[in-house]
Structure 1
Amino acid sequence: MTATAPETGPSGPGPQPPGRRERKKQRTREALIDAAFGLFAEKGFDATTVEEIADAVDVSSRTFFRYFASKEDVALTFQEEQNRAVMAALDERPADEPIMTALRHTVVGMARACEAGELGFEPGRFECMLTMMRDSPTLLAGSLEHAQKKQALLTEVIARRMGLDPAADLRPHVAAAATLCAFQAAADATRRPGGTFTSLSETVDQAFAILEGGLNEPVPADG
């Protein structure tokens, strides 16, 4: 077998920059996402069709399906970006930090970045996503399914951080599940009409404070 020579970029050996075709594909994908979120904000998720998204970018529905399996897939690109941010930030937390504290800082930081438009997040898409989750049971179900699929990956990251074998130790599984439940509970609370929870990041922080402090209420003293 002949060894393959390393690819050479403009500055020498290393990964080649994306070619023209790949750049065009990425631009089309981003244009479809932009168009979709614009229509979602204007018409709502359920009232928007794949054909309308494709027409807004002047491509065919067939082209749309080369990039996304469904309009739910487009909407959940934002959730995928959140997941990547959480995984990357968790890896950067101090190694000696307790796991639930590290997860709290990580998830709250991600929520604050979404609200403030930091780390590449767009606040407009974030607000649109929160509204869609409130108004569309279909998208909410898809979001929950997506989160469940990512739970296994989060479990692996947590287990590696804790130095545990997830096949033999339940703690990484519980930590991952608790993280997803805390975020979902906070999102549900902020979506509830007439509620007092308005900031997702602050509500997520409160949810993790409950996890860190424990859920058991004080036992009344006898007498």
Structure 2
Amino acid sequence: MATEPADREPGLRERKKQRTREAIFEAAMALFADRGYDHVTMAEVARAADVAPATVFTHYASKEDLVYTLRLEVNDRLRTAMDERADQIGVLPALKEWLLGTHAYFTETPEAVERSRTFSRMLNDNPTLWSRSVGFLHERQMLLAELLMERFPDADPLLLEAAASQIAAATQTAVRYYQRDLAAGMARDEVLARASERADRVFEQLERGLADAF
């Protein structure tokens, strides 16, 4: 029987790990949608995903970690937007594209819409999860500061970090309104249209306020 070359094995293992992570996440979100975040245990998530409890904890340290795993993908998309689009269209337009692209990405299929509704409703209903989401604002701010400093090495780092703080807070506010629309059950097209209109207003304000920063 033919075997895979040795140098392909890590890739296969990584793909298997990713499939397991996705299965756990999808199982958890389905349970959260059905029963609510507080009434689901990690052991129940393991059973729903058909994996051992230890496997769940290998991939996710806690229920909160599981809920917020997609933030890592959002941050990767942010870095890609800055790396690939900022030189072409400018920093703020690239960030606006990132924001709206992320909104569309998380609602691109009916299943994704329902998953995003579940996530948004959990934030509305669970103060602990909401507090954790606010904490991630600092993480996003630090990433933005890093990306701005890479792009503008001669600029005042104080002003760049202040700019990152303003951008992170403004975009998080726009995200919160988007999540409220999802939680309220609005149709996808209406959610995205309202998000686009808000993004125009938010980034117009940012452009005026950050005109001298970079």
Structures share fold, TM-score greater than 0.5: yes
* Matched-pair identity in %: 35
Per-residue deviation, 1:142: 1.6
Structure 1 CA distance for aligned equivalents of residues 11 and 153 of structure 2? 40
Larger Rg: 1 or 2? 1
Aligned positions of 1:113-192 closer than 5 A: 113-117=105-109, 122-164=112-154, 168-190=156-178, 191=180
Structure 1 CA distance for aligned equivalents of residues 8 and 136 of structure 2? 32
Greater RCO between the two (CA within 8 Å, min separation 6)?
2
Q: CA contact under 8 A between 1:185 and 1:207: conserved in structure 2?
A: no
Q: CA contact under 8 A between 1:112 and 1:201: conserved in structure 2?
A: no
Structure 1 CA distance for aligned equivalents of residues 202 and 11 of structure 2? 45
Partner-residue secondary structure (3-state), 1:115: coil
Per-residue deviation, 1:185: 1.3
Q: CA contact under 8 A between 1:33 and 1:74: conserved in structure 2?
A: yes
Structure 1 CA distance for aligned equivalents of residues 43 and 78 of structure 2? 33
Bigger share in helix: 2
Aligned positions of 1:15-54 closer than 5 A: 16-18=8-10, 21-54=13-46
Structure 2 CA distance for aligned equivalents of residues 149 and 189 of structure 1? 20
Structure 1 CA distance for aligned equivalents of residues 104 and 208 of structure 2? 22
**Alignment gaps of 5+ in structure 2:** none
CA offset digits 1:124-178 (Å, max 9, x no partner)? 332322222222211122222233223222211122122346xx52232122212
Structure 2 CA distance for aligned equivalents of residues 62 and 55 of structure 1? 11
2:99 is matched with 107
2:47 is matched with 55
Structure 1 CA distance for aligned equivalents of residues 86 and 173 of structure 2? 27
Q: CA contact under 8 A between 1:114 and 1:123: conserved in structure 2?
A: yes
CA offset digits 1:41-67 (Å, max 9, x no partner)? 222222222121111123333332111
Per-residue deviation, 1:70: 0.3
Structure 1 CA distance for aligned equivalents of residues 112 and 48 of structure 2? 20
Whichever residue aligns with residue 195 of structure 2, its letter is: S
Per-residue deviation, 1:94: 4.1
CA offset digits 1:85-121 (Å, max 9, x no partner)? 111122111426443333223222222332335xxx9
Structural RMSD (CA): 3.1
**Of 204, 211, 214, which residue of structure 2 is paired with 1:209?**
204
The alignment's TM-score, normalised by the length of structure 2, stands at 0.76
**Cα 1:180–1:156 shift into 2, 3 Å:** same
Structure 2 CA distance for aligned equivalents of residues 20 and 44 of structure 1? 35
1:82 is matched with 74
Structure 1 CA distance for aligned equivalents of residues 8 and 51 of structure 2? 29
Pair 1:64-2:56 in alignment: yes
**Cα 1:201–1:80 shift into 2, 3 Å:** farther
CA offset digits 1:69-97 (Å, max 9, x no partner)? 10111111122211111111221114264
**Alignment gaps of 5+ in structure 1:** 1-8, 216-223
Count of residues in correspondence between the two structures: 198
